[in-house]
Structure 1
Amino acid sequence: MQAACRGMDTEHFYPVSLVSTDGQAQAAEAKAICWACPVRRPCLRNALDIERREPESRVHGIRGGYLPSERIVLMRRWAR
């Protein structure tokens, strides 16, 4: 299996701003790519494994179909 994002520009998954209309559209597009990806779950698991050891301020980009803020919520739940 191959990731749907393989070969794509990684900047597509790192919106500059999630507040702007353009940033929200970019994030929605990236999330749609992730949610259709056959390796979404392993990708998300990998992101959570790495990021749970990092300060929350270092969690960036869309990974496994989740925004940084969404992954932080998952990590907090996981830590309980």
Structure 2
Amino acid sequence: DNIIHRIVAELEASCDYARRRRTVRAFNANSRFIKRGLALTPVKFGISFTATHYNQAGALVHVYTDGSVHLN
């Protein structure tokens, strides 16, 4: 029942992850002080809780004055 490999492969393809990583690496190679990052991190949370009120999720979003965004 482990479908994580298929899901990650689909996500990588649908968001053009490889091209975006290359773009980030190229930017970082040409920028002495400002660096960018990109990650795809699968997380399993809340699956199989019998108390349905525990099956919740949230997001922490930081939007900085320079326009960059950090999402957890």
TM-score scaled to structure 2, two decimals? 0.25
Which protein has the bigger helix share? 1
Q: Which has the higher contact order (CA 8 A, sep 6+)?
A: 1
Which structure has the larger Rg?
Answer: 2
User: Larger % of strand: which?
Assistant: 2
Q: With the length of structure 1 as denominator, give the TM-score of the two structures.
A: 0.23
